[in-house]
């Protein structure tokens, strides 16, 4: 039988490491989510993210990722900041990318938690995941009681909003499982109405990623279609609009992770500085940032596209 003491042991250590919420879900095939994913792919809503078509069975069944898996431990790590770029006309960066790349920061803490589990509980087999493998993170976050997936498709916690990174440990340790939270979006349509590219379906809960500004500025390797030029709202990397208008984010609190603090030059650069950006400046400001994913050429492409759309 699962030992509830193990749940509390893991939860307590996760909070000590800086995670904000921890939940536990039974590792099993996600049949309903599999149907939704199949529909999403069939409609081409993944754009040119061909990798989303790979490993379909693994995406919907964690026991294929970790044979013998019993539990998906789901964790949320806050990245919200009240820091803002000083020039209101400067091209904008999503706040999740202000500091050190979350893949490194959160993965390090996740590995520390897993090592703690093996030391305190005994032999536990499993794997750690931070947005880098075929795992349906938001589906698991919902099943583990970390929140509900809102109309914008992001996970919302009723006491803290949606500015969180999600992470998972899939392991063979049986634990007590949490209940999902019910949807609290009600009749609210703010994210749908605010999206400048109409990426969110009219009734919500379905995102056409190929129309999303985050996709256009990060995932899309080809040129951004000119039809989006009037609708970019000056975003050069990512987009926070659907979260900025969400009423639940009135409960968001600033993070307490020093590594997520932005490089000071990032906030002080003016519009003209970004338009004249050179590679050495890019390398200095984004040395350990998630922005490095699109490289200097990708960010320059985005900045030039914004300039053309003025």
| Six token digits for residue 99 | 């500091």
Measuring CA to CA, how many Å separate 151 from each of 66, 154, 187, 191, 243? Answer: 31, 8, 10, 7, 11
Identify whether 131 is a catalytic site residue. yes
Backbone φ and ψ for 23, nearest 5 degrees, come out as -140, 165
Half-sphere exposure of 200 (CA within 13 A, CB side): 19
Residues 171, 66: contact at Cβ < 8 Å? Answer: yes
CA 38-25-80 angle, to 5 degrees, is 85
In whole angstroms, give the CA distance from residue 265 to residue 273.
10
Give exposure, 89-102, as e/b (b: 16+ Cβ within 10 Å).
Answer: ebbbbbbbbbbbbb
Looking at 131, 172, 178, 273, which residue is catalytic?
131
**Active-site residue list:** 131
């Amino acid at each position: 039988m699962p030992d509830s003491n193990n749940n509390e042991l893991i939860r307590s250590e996760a909070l000590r490491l800086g995670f904000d919420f921890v939940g536990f879900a039974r590792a099993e095939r996600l049949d309903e989510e599999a149907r939704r994913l199949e529909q999403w792919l069939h409609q081409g809503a993944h754009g040119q993210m061909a990798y989303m078509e790979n490993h379909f069975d693994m995406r919907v069944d964690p026991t294929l990722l970790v044979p013998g898996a019993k539990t998906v431990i789901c964790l949320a790590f806050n990245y919200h900041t009240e820091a803002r770029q000083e020039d209101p006309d400067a091209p904008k960066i999503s706040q999740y990318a202000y500091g050190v790349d979350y893949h490194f920061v959160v993965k390090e803490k996740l590995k520390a938690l897993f090592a703690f589990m093996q030391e305190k509980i005994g032999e536990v087999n499993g794997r750690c995941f931070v947005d880098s493998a075929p795992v349906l993170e938001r589906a698991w976050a919902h099943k583990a009681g970390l929140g509900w997936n809102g109309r914008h498709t992001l996970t919302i916690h009723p006491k803290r909003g949606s500015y969180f990174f999600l992470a998972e440990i899939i392991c063979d340790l049986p634990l007590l499982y949490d209940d999902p939270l019910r949807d609290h979006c009600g009749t609210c349509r703010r994210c749908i109405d605010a999206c400048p590219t109409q990426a969110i379906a009219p009734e919500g809960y379905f995102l056409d990623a190929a129309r999303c500004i985050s996709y256009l500025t990060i995932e899309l390797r080809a040129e951004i279609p000119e039809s989006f030029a009037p609708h970019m709202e000056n975003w050069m990397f990512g987009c926070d609009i659907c979260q900025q208008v969400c009423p639940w984010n009135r409960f968001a609190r600033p993070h307490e992770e020093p590594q997520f603090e932005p490089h000071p030059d990032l906030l002080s650069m003016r519009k003209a500085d970004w338009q004249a950006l050179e590679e050495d400046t890019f390398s200095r400001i984004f040395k350990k940032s998630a922005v490095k994913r699109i490289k200097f050429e990708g960010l320059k492409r985005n900045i030039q596209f914004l300039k053309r759309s003025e």
